[in-house]
Amino acid sequence: MPGDIRVVIVDDQPLVRRGLRATLGPEPGIRVEGEAVNGREAVRLVGRLRPDVVLMDINMPYMNGLEATREICELSGAEDVRIVILTMYDEDEHVYEALRSGASGFIIKDSPPEMLAEAVRLAALGEALLSPSVTRRLIGEFARRPMLAGAAPDLDQLTDRELDVFKLLIRGFKNEDIARMLVLGESTVKSHVQHLYQKLRVRDRVQIVIYAYENGLVQPGGQGPEYPVSG
């Protein structure tokens, strides 16, 4: 149906694909468009179907999920495709690499149906579903990596209001919260967020947070600086 979130499932195990399709099938507003059994096939399928969300396994033959994620994110015309990594455990060792490659989040394969559907819907909105343990692991990874020296150069391209929105985004506020705090319409905030994606060359909110951590704008283990916002 028009307006449905179109999903592609990528996993080399038939039972997993069947289970995910059965879980998402009854969900209103979500439609499974296709399945792939490895990363190479996933890249071709996404290039043809241009789905909204890809549920991507990591360990697969021929091309794994991390390589496929990178290739999909580089496909022309696939800028709006969101990738959610499928994993058996919420402390997957590939958390940082997957998110840095362009994934929008992680979901456990045996998650309750409502959580899987929520992950798909959040990803389609440019947001993400990360369990607390995944978040802790990601922050721990940032803590082990050297931060880049100096200010993030791309921030110079932002208007004052875009910078206000950026500062609130990296502190975890949602659009409706930002609209209320900055006394803006929610549609205006959404427009600013899209401009941030373009100017910072990121795909979604997860990538904005990674950008902030890698450029030393948020300290691992802390809540980030309490930035003032312009009047």
Tokens of 15: 């039972």
pLDDT for the residue 183: 93
pLDDT for the residue 172: 73
Identity of the amino acid at 28: P
pLDDT for the residue 106: 83
Say if residues 68 and 47 touch (Cβ distance below 8 Å).
no
pLDDT for the residue 162: 92
Tokens of 22: 């059965």
Phi first, then psi, for residue 146 (nearest 5°) are -70, 140
pLDDT for the residue 135: 60
Say if residues 61 and 11 touch (Cβ distance below 8 Å).
no
Say if residues 9 and 41 touch (Cβ distance below 8 Å).
no
What are the pLDDT tens digits along the chain (231 aa)? 557 999 999 999 999 999 999 999 899 999 999 999 999 999 999 999 999 999 999 989 889 999 999 999 888 888 889 999 888 765 556 777 888 788 888 888 877 888 888 889 988 887 766 655 566 566 666 656 555 555 566 788 889 999 999 888 877 788 889 999 999 999 999 999 989 988 988 877 878 877 887 777 766 554 444 333 343
Nearest to 44 by CA among 14, 13, 94, 8: 8
Give the Cα separation of 104 and 84 in Å (integer): 5
Strand pairing partners for 35?
9
pLDDT for the residue 130: 63
